[in-house]
Structures are given as structure tokens and as C-alpha cells.
């Protein structure tokens, strides 16, 4: 069994319709350690040693967050700036994260077609998230395609949120059980609610 660290950031959890419930889903998965950055560090006073220790103890690192200005809420940048130190995360002797797996689990207000060269945002999601991918690679981690929910503003009206929560549950369980086809999951534009093609088939008929 692998161990997954789900690092969550939402500056207004009381107003979150999507990420709050998704984080509840993550908390219930065996093998997942949930970390709520804004709850733990309301003053941005990040405990670097503790965060580095958490990273060392886990195999899979998930950043769960709403997409804010094509990136993550501010505390996640602060966390990266302080925790991913030279000599720990990168550099000649900075090999603590080598071989681990990293992914973003994001929710976006815009619809999928907005995330293309021809669309409203003039870029696809993976291009916009390149700083995360480059960071993962510099630290020797394997970067998987982001797990994404688009059109977040409407997701709680129908059953989209429930479908997405189930998919998140499946994804986290597959990561912990080492059942994700990493090659496929690394190459995809994003991971959505249909995960079948990214799961390693077990022998069951």
C-alpha cells in the first residue's frame, strides 16, 4: 500500500461548495493523510520541518485546490517557496522527493472548451499548470495529469458533484493501491470522472 498526502487549500472554506465536500471524501480514504493548509496555518506561519517530514513519509502528493487565476490559492505558493528547499527537494543532495508521484486535483469555474488555444483562456489546462509539472520534475517526482472538475459553479446543482466525489474516491484508492496506469495518467490532458482507462485491470472477470 502506498501512502498519499492530500494537501488542501481553500481560503474561504465556508463558501466552498465543491472542494469542501471533495476534501471530506479524501479524508475518508484509508491510506490518505489530509492536510488543510489554511486551517493549520491561518497566519501563513508554515512549519517547514513538519511539512518536509510529512512529504518524506508519503509516496503520493496531491495538491487539492480550486483553480485561482490559473494557479493555486496563495498559501500553496507560500508552502512551495518554504518547504521545497534546496538540499531537500532539489539540488545535488536534495533527493528527498525523488521517485514520488505528484498531481493536482483542481476545480475550475470555466467549462472544458474554455481551456484550449481557441477558447476563452487561450491555453489548455496542462499548459497553465506547467509550473507544478516543472517543479515536480525538478524534484524528481512523476507528474500525473490533473484530476479536474470544470464548470464548478453548476456542479452542485445536478448530480455532477456526487459523480466527481465518487471518481475522486476511486482515484485516491487506486493511487494508494498502486492500481493507476501511471504512463497513461501522465500523458492525458486531464483526468475526469471516467477513470476506467487509467486503472490497471486486475485479474477478476
C-alpha cell at 38: 489554511
Here's the x/- map for ligand FMN, 3-22, by CB under 6 A: it reads as -------x-----xxxx---
Q: How far is CA 55 from the centre of its chain?
A: 14
Q: Are 38 and 65 in contact, with CB atoms under 8 Å apart? A: no
Using CB positions, name the residue nearest to ligand FMN.
Answer: 109
Task: Scan for cell 486535483, then name that residue.
Answer: 105
Q: Does 125 bind ligand FMN (CB under 6 A)?
A: no
Q: In terms of Cα–Cα distance, which of 193, 198, 184, 196 is closest to 107?
A: 193
The count of other CB atoms within 10 Å of the CB of residue 142 is 17
Q: Does 127 bind ligand FMN (CB under 6 A)?
A: no
Q: Which one of residues 2, 110, 138, 186 is an interface residue with ligand FMN (CB under 6 A)?
A: 110
Q: Does 116 bind ligand FMN (CB under 6 A)?
A: no
Here's the x/- map for ligand FMN, 34-73, by CB under 6 A: it reads as --------------------------------xxxxx---
Q: In terms of Cα–Cα distance, which of 2, 123, 94 is closest to 131?
A: 123
Q: Does 119 bind ligand FMN (CB under 6 A)?
A: no
| Interacting residue ranges for ligand FMN, rule: CB under 6 A | 10, 16-19, 66-70, 107-110, 152
Amino acid at each position: 500500500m502506498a501512502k498519499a498526502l492530500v494537501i488542501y487549500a481553500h481560503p474561504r472554506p465556508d463558501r466552498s461548495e465543491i472542494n469542501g465536500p471533495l476534501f471530506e471524501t479524501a479524508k475518508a480514504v484509508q491510506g490518505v493523510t489530509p492536510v488543510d493548509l489554511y486551517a493549520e496555518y491561518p497566519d501563513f506561519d508554515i512549519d517547514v520541518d513538519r511539512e518536509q517530514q510529512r512529504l518524506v513519509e508519503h509516496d503520493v502528493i496531491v495538491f487539492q485546490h480550486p483553480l485561482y487565476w490559473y494557479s493555486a490559492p496563495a498559501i500553496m505558493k507560500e508552502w512551495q517557496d518554504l518547504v521545497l528547499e534546496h538540499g531537500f527537494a532539489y539540488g545535488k543532495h536534495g533527493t528527498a522527493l525523488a521517485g514520488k508521484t505528484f498531481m493536482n486535483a483542481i476545480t475550475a469555474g470555466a467549462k472544458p472548451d474554455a481551456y484550449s488555444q481557441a477558447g476563452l483562456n487561450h491555453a489548455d489546462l496542462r499548459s497553465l499548470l506547467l509550473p507544478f509539472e516543472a517543479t515536480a520534475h525538478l524534484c524528481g517526482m512523476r507528474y500525473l495529469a490533473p484530476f479536474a472538475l470544470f464548470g464548478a459553479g453548476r456542479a452542485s446543482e445536478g448530480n455532477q458533484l456526487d459523480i466527481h466525489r465518487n471518481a475522486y474516491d476511486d482515484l485516491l484508492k487506486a493511487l494508494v493501491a498502486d492500481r493507476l496506469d501511471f504512463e497513461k495518467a501522465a500523458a492525458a490532458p486531464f483526468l475526469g470522472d471516467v477513470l476506467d482507462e487509467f486503472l490497471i485491470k486486475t485479474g477478476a472477470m
